Structure 1
Amino acid sequence: MIKNIDKYKRDWFIDLKLDVLPISFYIIRKSLLAAVTELRPKLHGNVLDLACGVMPYKEFLKNDLIEEYIGIDLEPTEYHNDVKPDYYWDGNKIPLDDASVNFVIATELLEHYFDTNHILKEIKRVLKPGGTFFFTVPSVWPLHEAPYDYHRFTPFALDEYFKKSKFSSWEIKPLGGFHYHLALSFALWNDYRLSGKYKKIIKPFLNMFLEFLLKKDKKNLIFKNGEMYSGLYGFVTK
């Protein structure tokens, strides 16, 4: 298994009660934590973690400038046995006042919300003027939480959605580049399609190959024909 699993990712998997950490989960969470780390020094004031699940990044993100960290999620699910959100919502209207938070964090949410225009409108509503919406979305990932898995966004689609929602500015970045895309694809093939005996045979070779791909990866910030990415994240300003 790839070494040096970060404490916060390790805690997240314990919360989900997974006995074995799949390689693909490690790879995707590695890129997500890198994006969240970029968000960390920016946070202040009131922070909303929307569709928060077990709030895996809460302790990591805390700083003295955050006045309140609010978790909001759907009615109780298997995620909420030990960690409960501050508020539940109906999936339609966020139960907060207009212009009440400085940041909205939505990691791996937008692909599950069919009406992208509506959720962006709600996020913008609760943000204070100049507030920031931080998001991540997958590109390479199997269908999950079926049937509530609706989208795989391109940066150009997100650009149009943010423009239509009349945000003032936004920056969209790749979670991982071409090599990361390939590493995640091979890891998913290993985790979801190979039988146990074949996994044992290829494990040492696969681990070396994945380490090579992750080290070689470069994230091209210019999206153009021929580019591939493992997922997207960004900062959107009201």
Structure 2
Amino acid sequence: MKKDIEKIIKDWFIDLNPKILPVSVYVIRRSLLAAVAELKPKLNGKVLDLACGIMPYKEYLMSDRIEDYIGIDLEPSEYHHDVKPDFYWNGVDIPLEDSSIDFVLATEFLEHYFDTASILKEIKRILKPGGVFFYTVPGIWPLHEASYDYHRFTPFALEEHFKQAEYASSIIKPLGGFHYHFALSLTLWIEFRFSKKYRNIVKPFLKAFINSLIKKDNKSLPFKNGQMYSGLYGFATK
């Protein structure tokens, strides 16, 4: 892996360099890293990073408990100039054998897959009995990778999808609660609706306010009427 890619991963995904990142990216990536950190001590055996891109969390997650870390993505794209997946797939059939993987992780992927039922069944096919699927999905984020941005899930929709795909169990959690939702909304509003000059003026004050909101955030469960969340993550067991 080239040093420039290593630096991108470090600054944009792991260390979250506030001098480089737009505040909205810092906010969303902070919640994603917290979710991935919860996954880290659970990982063991053979791990599949589905729709892996540059595999930004691979080095962070690696340990002597992991037997193999496999990246799978679509045919070559802009992500693969310096980091190539182990396998390419056609977007339908994962090129791995039945019951061959202990963990599948897919961060910010399910919103881009139109047929949720189909992909959840395909993921379950390659999982070993008792294997785990870890995922994150956005709750609030602008349209991206158009025109392949299909879903914003509720926790109840995800729960029903896992039931219909006949997973043994699923745990669904908020990436962030009401305060986090507001923090992310505010940063996106400023970054997408105001000039660069104005953004540079308010950025130091915005960061301080955003950090105070994040500190006050309460990711309460169970999900109920009136609740707001910035995104969702969870674990589904075969």
With the shorter chain as reference, the TM-score category is over 0.9
**Structure 1 runs not aligned, ≥5 long:** 1-6
Contact 1:9/1:29, CA 8 A, preserved across alignment: no
Residue 87 of structure 2 corresponds to which residue in structure 1?
87
The CA deviation string for residues 161-219 of structure 1, in whole angstroms up to 9 with x for no partner, is: 00000000010000000000000111111222110222233223322211111111010
Q: Which amino acid aligns with 1:217?
A: D
The reply to whether residue 45 of structure 1 matches residue 42 of structure 2 is no
The CA deviation string for residues 41-75 of structure 1, in whole angstroms up to 9 with x for no partner, is: 01111000000000000000001111000000000
**Distance between the aligned counterparts of 2:142 and 2:97, measured in 1?**
35
**Distance between the aligned counterparts of 2:9 and 2:214, measured in 1?**
20
Contact 1:137/1:231, CA 8 A, preserved across alignment: yes
Q: Secondary structure at the match of 1:218?
A: coil
The reply to whether residue 27 of structure 1 matches residue 46 of structure 2 is no
Residue 220 of structure 1 corresponds to which residue in structure 2?
220
The CA deviation string for residues 101-138 of structure 1, in whole angstroms up to 9 with x for no partner, is: 00000100000000000000000000000000000000
Contact 2:183/2:210, CA 8 A, preserved across alignment: yes
**Distance between the aligned counterparts of 1:13 and 1:41, measured in 2?**
16
Q: Which amino acid aligns with 1:146?
A: A
**Distance between the aligned counterparts of 2:14 and 2:216, measured in 1?**
27
Indicate how the Cα distance of structure 1 residues 34 and 9 shifts in structure 2: closer, same or farther if over 3 A, else same.
farther
**Distance between the aligned counterparts of 2:92 and 2:160, measured in 1?**
22
Contact 2:140/2:231, CA 8 A, preserved across alignment: yes
**Distance between the aligned counterparts of 2:130 and 2:217, measured in 1?**
33
Q: How many residues align?
A: 229
Residue 128 of structure 1 corresponds to which residue in structure 2?
128
Residue 183 of structure 1 corresponds to which residue in structure 2?
183
**Distance between the aligned counterparts of 1:29 and 1:9, measured in 2?**
12
The reply to whether residue 98 of structure 1 matches residue 102 of structure 2 is no
Question: Which TM-score applies when normalising by structure 1?
Answer: 0.92
The reply to whether residue 144 of structure 1 matches residue 144 of structure 2 is yes
Question: Which TM-score applies when normalising by structure 2?
Answer: 0.92
**Distance between the aligned counterparts of 1:92 and 1:194, measured in 2?**
40
Q: Which amino acid aligns with 1:93?
A: D
Q: Which amino acid aligns with 1:153?
A: F
Give the CA RMSD over aligned residues. 1.8
Identity %: 68
Shift, 1:8, TM fit: 5.1
Contact 2:105/2:135, CA 8 A, preserved across alignment: yes
The reply to whether residue 167 of structure 1 matches residue 183 of structure 2 is no
Q: Which amino acid aligns with 1:83?
A: V
Q: Secondary structure at the match of 1:134?
A: strand
Residue 116 of structure 2 corresponds to which residue in structure 1?
116
Shift, 1:9, TM fit: 4.8
Contact 1:13/1:21, CA 8 A, preserved across alignment: no
Contact 1:8/1:60, CA 8 A, preserved across alignment: no
